[in-house]
Homo-oligomer: A and B are copies of this chain.
């Protein structure tokens, strides 16, 4: 928290302080209102951008949608200015992840005034949805989401091994399928066959490419059963980690109870041994008084 927040000196500082609390605070009514307002503005701006891409809607309401876009651009520009204004180190915010997204979400509209066509980039505004993570995070789900993150990070190495194995299987079987089915059956290249293999292995199954030879169908069946079966692996990995993450939070309570028996790091002045009980008065090894 910047200094002027804790000890506002001038009138400007006091104003900055108020704005800062509104933008970054969550416990005041104004802070909550700002978060919810921002949430709604982001969602509506995303709906506007989506609506523009639907031909029927765009043909009939093009003007209205453009007006809405400009309104959201103004709102986000004001928000952006205020965020810079209240930051002690504005550059740090400007070049932060969210700072860049905030800029990208307003820049295209201004550029569109000079460069025709750049308007299309305003859909970059959809990236602002990422800010919702922060808004929601501040509101409720922080703890749960961090538990999930811990569980997923802990299973990272196992998941990588798994994905890597899946990828190798997909490339090998994809190549095989290319030579079995061939371009005449729609397997026009190895990458396309690998696409088919991934589509089948993940049980998505578009059906745009389908094996027509007996051998291709047989191999595909094996592939499906593999795909159907190995989904058990990431599920098992993540499940175990989530269970552990839950246990740890319980575990911390247990540790607390055992605290009394924990050995500490105090070094005996006489024999230099450590690992004494927390409530020890004398060294276990030489009998010297520890706190003498």
Top-3 shortest CB links A-B = A282-B287, A204-B205, A236-B239
A144 at the interface (CB under 8 A from B): yes
- B residues within 8 A CB of A136? 161, 164
Instruction: For the complex formed, measure the closest distance between the CB of A253 and the CB atoms of chain B, giving whole angstroms.
Output: 14
Instruction: For the complex formed, measure the closest distance between the CB of A257 and the CB atoms of chain B, giving whole angstroms.
Output: 11
Q: How far is the CA of A63 from the CA of B200 in the complex (A)?
A: 34
Contact B237 A240 (CB under 8 A): no
A112 at the interface (CB under 8 A from B): no
Instruction: Describe A's contact surface by its main secondary structure.
Output: helix
- B residues within 8 A CB of A234? 228-229, 231-232
Q: How far is the CA of A126 from the CA of B192 in the complex (A)?
A: 15
Copies of this chain present in the complex amount to 4
Contact B188 A202 (CB under 8 A): no
Q: Which of A20-28, A64-72, A88-96, A168-176 contacts B (4 or more CB under 8 A)?
A: A168-176
Contact B207 A221 (CB under 8 A): no
Q: How far is the CA of A104 from the CA of B178 in the complex (A)?
A: 19
Contact A232 B235 (CB under 8 A): yes
Contact B225 A198 (CB under 8 A): yes
Query: Which A residues have a C-beta under 8 Å from some C-beta of B?
Result: 46, 49-50, 53-55, 123, 126-127, 129-130, 132-133, 136, 140-141, 144-145, 147-148, 151-152, 157-166, 168, 171-172, 175, 178-179, 183, 188-192, 194-195, 198-208, 210, 214, 217, 220-221, 224-225, 227-229, 231-244, 246, 261, 263, 275-277, 279-289
Instruction: For the complex formed, measure the closest distance between the CB of A48 and the CB atoms of chain B, giving whole angstroms.
Output: 11
Q: How far is the CA of A287 from the CA of B287 in the complex (A)?
A: 5
What are 19 contact pairs spanning A and B, CB under 8 A?
A50-B191, A50-B194, A54-B189, A54-B191, A123-B190, A126-B171, A127-B172, A136-B161, A136-B164, A144-B161, A148-B233, A195-B217, A198-B224, A203-B205, A206-B210, A236-B239, A236-B241, A279-B285, A284-B284
- B residues within 8 A CB of A130? 168, 172
With A188-B55, A190-B50, A240-B239 as given contacts, are A199 and B205 in contact (CB-CB < 8 Å)?
yes
Q: How far is the CA of A158 from the CA of B123 in the complex (A)?
A: 30
Contact B235 A175 (CB under 8 A): no
Q: How far is the CA of A283 from the CA of B282 in the complex (A)?
A: 7
